Amino acid sequence: MDYRILGPLEVFDRERALSLGGSRQRALLALLLLHPNEVLSTDRLLDELWGEQPPESGPKAVQVLVSQLRKALQDGSGAESPLVTRAPGYVMRVAEGELDRDRFESLVEQAGAEKEPEARARLLREALGIWRGPPLADLSYEEFAQPAIARLAEARLAALEARIDADLALGRHSALTGEVDELVTQHPLRERLRGQLMLALYGSGRQADALAVYQDGRRRLVDELGVEPGPELRQLQKQILAQDPALPAARTEPAGARLASKRPRRRRGLLALTGVVAVAIAAVVAALVVDENGEAEPIVVTPNSVAVIDPGTNRVVDSVRVGDSPGPIEASDNALWVVNINARTLMKIDPAARSVVGSVAVPVSPGRNTPPLQLAVAGEEAWVWACHLTLYRFDPSVHITEELEIFRDTGAFPPFSCAVTAEPGTIWAPVDYPKSEIVRVEARPETPAFISDRFPAPRGERSAMAFGAGSLWLADNEGGAVRRLDPDTGAIAATIRLGDGPTAMAYGAGAIWVASDVGDSVMRIDLRTNSVVRAISVGADPVALAVGDDAIWVANSGDGTVSRIDPATNQVTETIEVGHRPLGVAVADGLVWVTVRS
């Protein structure tokens, strides 16, 4: 078995995710996994799970809950359950290596015993790679879990600091500045991180910036806590002022070697992370690295990040670490929203600061029948569509404000439509059962959402939707038909045949753009004639589109690239390497944002 608490709670039996049941059942499992191979009494379970309002049935309620959890862990396999009765309560038997927390701690311990920084960095990266998001992200509201969540988050941050120390010892100063700067922004009173940023900046030839980091930290400590920096940080400042030879040699980068973004980065105060503990983990530098010959080297973007592309230079200029397997990304007013597919979390990014400012678990349980998640943005609100089942509404502070059930889950489904689109005040989504329909949801600000219409639709699995030119546009996965609908009546105004494989649609630059992973192309549909006027070859397996001021941006999941199309010529003018598997793309704050997973 594979028990996972370093992220949303999950259990895998080999490659098979187990369905863990409702929130109380999941809370029981989390409590037992926080104390593996330890007997927890019935009284303690009652107290931890129900607090001051235990059920009247008392021990009987615990017994029923344990019985349900046992069945979930066996999942019909007939194997002996790891949850056993042992007076005066119950114990969860967990073998060595079955709990992700134990694997993480073992790797951190191994790293601590290594003398070579390269080996330490490698082991710590492996340990940090086990994390899928904030610990027990879907149970952060449980009082019993909060002390454990805080301890785990601290252990993760300590491991990250140790990995940064190892990278500093290897001379990777320039490659660390962006990552450590993000961490200092999120933890401005943590002196170890601030010292690491000072070293990274000084080792990159940025003495003045390193000293400014110290002064900013001192001001915060005095203003907020009434204390001066500790002796280690004060000593580091003195060494930098004296250009102490014991510090890494400063290298001055050529003035033209650094890329300037559309908007200079600014330091921010402590960001309020909403709903769950959010700790940034390892990311690659968010500026160009300069080699010994003064040549600019391309940035390598790590998985589980959002790559930031400057359209003025067609280069990656930054990288924002997010959750496990980021996919859909959409821009709203002054924000970006990202759905992390495996972690089942929604994150909000401040595009000006290029940092995560909020994160919340999407309440969708893991399992074989877990619906895919899609994302739509209307005004300042974000909507996550658990395909075919439920729409979740999130306000700008990253709180769930509403859950709208579209279809009640009755078990496993064959492949079904998974698409959503929005305009301010309205959301559209397809459903296939019990009949093929397009659901229209009225969603005006500060007003409860409701289903206002259900339009009949031709049979077919919808793979993409868009709204534009006063019409609703649907793409069928099989057969490749794009249909143009009247959004008020659902009447089909036109059907455009494309061929199999449409994966994404976008409206802009006077056209509808459709990506196809069968032909590795993007098709331009003329709004006047309702016909394809050009098929444009792009990278392998295009899966997402975004429209910018003067370009159509295409995320190609098959070859780790982003294609830039000039809508004036219908030609690809740039192909930008981001690596790994791009899954989403959006345009905000004059930059292009691309989600990248492994």
Higher pLDDT, 127 or 343: 127
Does the pLDDT of residue 3 top 50, yes or no? yes
- How many Å separate Cα 298 from the centre of its chain? 23
Higher pLDDT, 137 or 486: 486
Mean of the per-residue pLDDT values of the chain: 84
Q: What is the pLDDT of residue 242?
A: 87
Q: What is the mean pLDDT of residues 303-330?
A: 91
The answer to whether 211 and 183 are in contact (CB under 8 A) is no
Does the pLDDT of residue 369 top 60, yes or no? no
Higher pLDDT, 268 or 98: 98
Does the pLDDT of residue 76 top 70, yes or no? no
Percent of the chain at pLDDT > 90 equals 46
Which residues are CB-contacts of 410 (< 8 A; sequence separation ≥ 6)? none
Helix (H, G, I), strand (E, B) or coil at 302: coil
Q: What is the mean pLDDT of residues 43-68?
A: 85
pLDDT-derived band at 61 (thresholds 50, 70, 90) equals confident
Helix (H, G, I), strand (E, B) or coil at 192: helix
Q: What is the pLDDT of residue 445?
A: 83
User: Where are any strands of DSSP class E within 222-380?
Assistant: 289-290, 296-297, 305-310, 315-321, 326-332, 335-340, 345-350, 355-361, 373-378
Q: What is the pLDDT of residue 255?
A: 31
Tell me the C-alpha to C-alpha distance, in Å, between residue 366 and each of 16, 21, 26, 383, 561. 10, 9, 11, 20, 30
Higher pLDDT, 140 or 62: 62
State how far the Cα of 319 lies from the Cα of 346, in Å rounded to an integer: 18
Q: What is the pLDDT of residue 407?
A: 76
Does the pLDDT of residue 66 top 60, yes or no? yes
State how far the Cα of 152 lies from the Cα of 85, in Å rounded to an integer: 28
Q: What is the mean pLDDT of residues 166-170?
A: 92
pLDDT digits (tens, 9 = 90+) for 222-238: 888 888 999 999 999 99
Max mean pLDDT range (23-27, 32-36, 73-77, 81-85): 32-36
Q: Which of 86-95, 213-222, 295-304, 557-566 shows the lowest mean pLDDT across its residues?
A: 295-304
State how far the Cα of 439 lies from the Cα of 11, in Å rounded to an integer: 34
Cα four-point dihedral sign 299, 302, 303, 309: negative
Q: What is the pLDDT of residue 258?
A: 33
pLDDT digits (tens, 9 = 90+) for 487-545: 888 899 999 988 767 899 999 999 999 998 877 899 999 999 999 888 999 999 999 99
Long-range contacts of 493-500 (CB under 8 A, 24+ apart): 493/530, 494/530, 496/525, 496/530, 496/531, 496/532, 498/523, 498/532
Q: What is the pLDDT of residue 519?
A: 78
User: Where are any strands of DSSP class E within 6-163?
Assistant: 10-13, 16-17, 40-41, 83-86, 89-92
pLDDT-derived band at 409 (thresholds 50, 70, 90) equals low
Stated as kind and residue range, the H or E segment containing 174 is helix 173-186
Higher pLDDT, 358 or 79: 358
Does the pLDDT of residue 260 top 70, yes or no? no
pLDDT-derived band at 578 (thresholds 50, 70, 90) equals very high
pLDDT-derived band at 394 (thresholds 50, 70, 90) equals very high
Stated as kind and residue range, the H or E segment containing 200 is helix 191-203
State how far the Cα of 134 lies from the Cα of 356, in Å rounded to an integer: 13
The answer to whether 337 and 381 are in contact (CB under 8 A) is no
Q: What is the pLDDT of residue 21?
A: 77
Q: What is the mean pLDDT of residues 38-48?
A: 90
Long-range contacts of 494-497 (CB under 8 A, 24+ apart): 494/530, 496/525, 496/530, 496/531, 496/532
Q: What is the mean pLDDT of residues 257-282?
A: 31
Q: What is the pLDDT of residue 354?
A: 86
Stated as kind and residue range, the H or E segment containing 450 is strand 450-456
Which residues are CB-contacts of 51 (< 8 A; sequence separation ≥ 6)? 143
Does the pLDDT of residue 333 top 90, yes or no? no
Helices assigned H by DSSP within 282-437: none
Does the pLDDT of residue 571 top 50, yes or no? yes
Q: What is the pLDDT of residue 412?
A: 47
Higher pLDDT, 515 or 257: 515
Q: Which residue, 581, 583, 505, 518, is CA-closest to 545?
A: 505
Q: Which of 33-47, 255-269, 414-428 shows the lowest mean pLDDT across its residues?
A: 255-269
Percentages helix, strand, coil for the chain (3-state, rounded to 5) are 25, 35, 40
pLDDT digits (tens, 9 = 90+) for 414-473: 557 889 999 888 999 988 877 888 999 998 888 899 999 998 888 777 889 999 999 999
State how far the Cα of 58 lies from the Cα of 49, in Å rounded to an integer: 11
Percent of the chain at pLDDT > 70 equals 88
Higher pLDDT, 259 or 113: 113
Q: What is the mean pLDDT of residues 84-90?
A: 91
Tell me the C-alpha to C-alpha distance, in Å, between residue 488 and each of 183, 441, 442. 48, 12, 12
What is the DSSP-derived secondary structure letter of residue 99? B
Q: What is the pLDDT of residue 513?
A: 95
Residue with tokens 């769950």: 276
Helices assigned H by DSSP within 204-328: 207-225, 231-241
Q: What is the mean pLDDT of residues 344-353?
A: 90
Q: What is the pLDDT of residue 335?
A: 93
Does the pLDDT of residue 349 top 90, yes or no? yes
Q: Would strands 400-405 and 481-485 be described as parallel, antiparallel, or unpaired?
A: unpaired
pLDDT-derived band at 116 (thresholds 50, 70, 90) equals very high
